[in-house]
Amino acid sequence: MPIDLLRAKGELSIAGSDERHILQVVYELYEVLPTTKWQADDPERHKSRLLFVGQGFDRAQLLSSLSSCLL
Q: What does 13-65 look like in DSSP terms, one character per residue?
A: E-TT--EEEEEEEETTEEEEEEEEEPPTT-TTTT--EEEEEEE---HHHHHHH
Tell which CATH architecture fits domain 4-67: 2-Layer Sandwich (3.30)
Domain boundaries, the chain: 4-67
For residue range 5-43, list pLDDT tens digits in order. 889 999 999 888 889 999 999 988 999 999 999 888 888
What's the predicted TM-score (pTM) here? Answer: 0.76
